[in-house]
Amino acid sequence: MKPPLSLALRLVPLLLCAGAGFGLARALPQEPPTPQLPPLPPPPPQAGEVKAVHAPRLVTDDVLLRAEEYSADWLMWARTYNGQRFSPLNQVHRANVATLAPKWAYSTGTHGAQQSTPVVHNGMMYLTGAGGLIHALRADTGDLVWSFDSQLPPDAARFGKDNNRGAALYRDKVIWVNFAGQIFAHDARTGKVRWKRTTADYNLGYTRTLAPLIVKGRVILGTSGGEFGCRGFVEALDAETGKPVWTTHTIPAPGEPGHETWPQGDQWKNGGAPTWVTGSYDPELNLIYWTTGNGAPWSSENRPGDNLYCCSVLALDADTGKIKWHFQFVPNDEWDFDCCTTPILAEIDWKGERVPVMTTGVKNGFLYLIDRRNGRFLKGVQFADRVNWAKGLDPVTGRPIETGTARPPKGTRTQVEVIPSALGAANWWGCAYDRARSSVILVSNETGMQHVWEPMKYDPGKEYIGWDAEQFRAHTRRTSPRPGRVSAWDLRTMEKVWEAPRESEIRWGGPLVTGGDLVFTGTMRGFLQALDAENGRPLWQFQTGSGIMAHPVTYSVNGRQYVAVMSGRGGVANPTYISQDFFKDIKNHNSSGMVFAFSLP
């Protein structure tokens, strides 16, 4: 283990006196004027503070099943198996959030996209960062306990940006995977490596950016690599030893159901369908829900057919990995409309029946409601202001009704306009769930692009896109002066109930909902914001100094509730990578990685 790369920072008293978190914001670019919202209603009577309960020392299977009860901790990627990113903690609520102040900050010592969701257990925080690092901190002070550098192979960078979305806890271990696909299990107290395993070759493009999910003593993982012609998969490893248990490929081989949707020779072998975002789990049905990404190459002229199971959600038997059902959001994906998001599992009243549902908003601009028992499509609605590739969804099947104008004529170099862009109306940062209102909180953007086909042949380890990448980067643009959105959609009606003031830049900061009637989310201009869950009104914000591309979390230590988030812009969210049109206010922000934790005075 290498020496620590960074030290916990102590913020000076002046910072603590910033008052409502706006002190730092005055010296940085301000949001343009926005339409006035209705007057703020008086705060509701408080029902009493939720008791903060810590999980036992060993994070067993039973503890993970009961993660909802351990309100003080954040035990997994989305806090609980249902993917809701909801915490019942309410010490910080909409009547006092204006006094929320920074308590500590920690520098990860690296540049690049900081997308980790910290996990917190019994006063310890574990977070990953760009550069193949993992850190263990005291969650109340930010003091470093241990740090580990996985020493990424230098040539791994040719496959993309080495962002990482987090770790998992099991018994006395913390488990994560670095960009090169090396899976590590550490002693949670000391950082000592207990086991290490690699199951796919990064030299072929199989990289990893996701946080593991632990189910029944197994580490569940997916893979990136769709842009390099990798065949996607979901796998389960024994959490105690790292030994493989099962692997399910997301493109069916000959003889498997769905293979007929790949009619062109051996195209299925390199067809994509990556699995690069953590899934959800229903213990009662014993089903793991995992979403899949784009086909390879992006240009569908190379791969006729619906191309199962690209751009789909799969329901997998947790014991065997067998696909029990699937739903495909985008057949024969042409536009890199990855559907890699964490499905939210909930129960709602639907047409007079209490129905267990799965919901998610995806890149293509639509929000879906699906019966998670069998994959039956219930309803889908367009959440993006503008969509030109489809004019709606079939009300029975949910299959998109394409306009026919967003696919270039076959065999030509004709450019066509596509809305949304490959950046997506929504994307991996996904949604959160407001239980009090049965509403999905959706972070989204309004973007478009110029699209053209490129002839492409598969070459192992080489980019396999089939698009004119330079044209894409130069002509991806905002389709609204204020492209960044946060909105709430009532699942019982599938109608929008509020939208926060629109952001002047695109947004990649995921949402968090709390029992204090608050929605926390970050902006690419560097602000961590608190919104009123009732109507989306901004109540507080704090400038972190770099764009926020991660999900906030909340937890409690010694009776004090904290809200924490990673800050650090990078990867695709970089003016050197994508059109300058997206980055009018943030061009001077650095990309250094930081973690900030806040609490009440």
> Which string of DSSP letters, residue by residue, matches 197-235?
EE-S-GGGT----SPPEEETTEEEE----GGGTPBPEEE
ω into 257 cis (within 30 of 0):
no
Rounded to 5 degrees, φ, ψ at 65 are: -65, -30
Q: Are 294 and 424 a contacting pair, CB within 8 Å?
A: no
**Cα gap 550→81, rounded to integer Å:** 19
> Which string of DSSP letters, residue by residue, matches 106-175?
EEEEEES----B-EEETTEEEEEETTTEEEEEETTT--EEEEEE----GGGGGGS-----B-EEEBTEEE
Question: CA 113, 227, 218 angle in degrees (round to 5)?
Answer: 70
Question: CA 121, 100, 141 angle in degrees (round to 5)?
Answer: 40
306 catalytic? Reply is no
Taking the alpha carbons of 34, 37, 41, 47 in that order, is the dihedral positive or negative? negative
Q: Two tokens at 220?
A: 């569940």
Of 336, 517, 532, 585, the catalytic one is: 336
Q: Are 261 and 306 a contacting pair, CB within 8 Å?
A: yes
Q: Are 140 and 204 a contacting pair, CB within 8 Å?
A: no
Burial 312-345 (b: 16+ CB within 10 A, else e): bbbbbebeebebbbbbbbbbbbbbbbbbbbbbbb
As beta bridge partners, residue 254 has none
Surface-to-core class of residue 169, CB atoms within 10 Å of its CB (0-12 exposed, 13-18 middle, 19+ buried)? buried
281: three-class secondary structure by DSSP = strand
Cβ neighbours of 402 (radius 10 Å): 16
Q: Are 195 and 185 a contacting pair, CB within 8 Å?
A: yes
Say which DSSP state 514 is in.
E
Name, in order, each residue with C-beta under 8 angstroms of 173's C-beta and a sequence gap of 6 or more.
185, 186, 187, 188, 194, 239
**Cα gap 293→315, rounded to integer Å:** 15
Q: Are 378 and 350 a contacting pair, CB within 8 Å?
A: yes
Token pair 């503070």 in the structure block, residue: 49
Burial 220-243 (b: 16+ CB within 10 A, else e): bbbbbbbbbbbbbbbbbbebeebe
Active site (catalytic) residues: 336
